[in-house]
Amino acid sequence: MAVPASVRDAAIVVLERYCSARASDDLRVEHLERGDPIMLVERRPPWQPGAHAAWSSTDVAQLRYDAGSGHWSLFWPRSSGRWERYDGIAPAPNIALLIAEIDADPDGVFWKLWFRSEGAGQGRKLHVPSGERGR
């Protein structure tokens, strides 16, 4: 079942505000709508100048809406390219709760530990999901 337009519109407002706050000269965070899921991607400028240089794109998170429960669920990208349900936070009716979890990234699965917002993850023990240990 498709995401109701009012629910999608409300989610997009929250995502646009988040993406705008994270933007800098060398980083953009963007949301993409691919069918029902909404993807959050990190974009960086080319490291070498040239006529065909393009910004790189890295998947950060995916948000999926369940019309039956009225909740959004959070997914993270595995190195295999498949999306896995993130179990660090329960599905939520308010997408802002999931965005806050992405920003904090206590498990290092969204920003892959190399990019953290100021203060994110401070004082929290890093937990590596069992499926990612030893990789």
**Domain residue limits, the chain:** 5-132
Task: Return the DSSP state at 130.
Answer: G
DSSP sequence for 46-102: -SS--TT---EEEEEEEEEEETTTTEEEEEEE-TTS-EEE--SS--BS-HHHHHHHH
The three-state secondary structure class of 114 is coil
The CA distance from 105 to 119, in Å, is 11
Give this prediction's pTM. 0.78
35 CB burial (10 A radius; 0-12, 13-18, 19+)? exposed
pLDDT tens track for 32-91: 988 889 999 999 888 777 767 788 889 999 999 999 999 999 999 998 989 999 999 999
Q: Regarding beta strands 38-44 and 83-85, do their DSSP bridges make them parallel or antiparallel, or are they unpaired?
A: unpaired
pLDDT at residue 115, rounded to an integer: 46
What is the mean predicted confidence (pLDDT) over 98-107?
Answer: 93
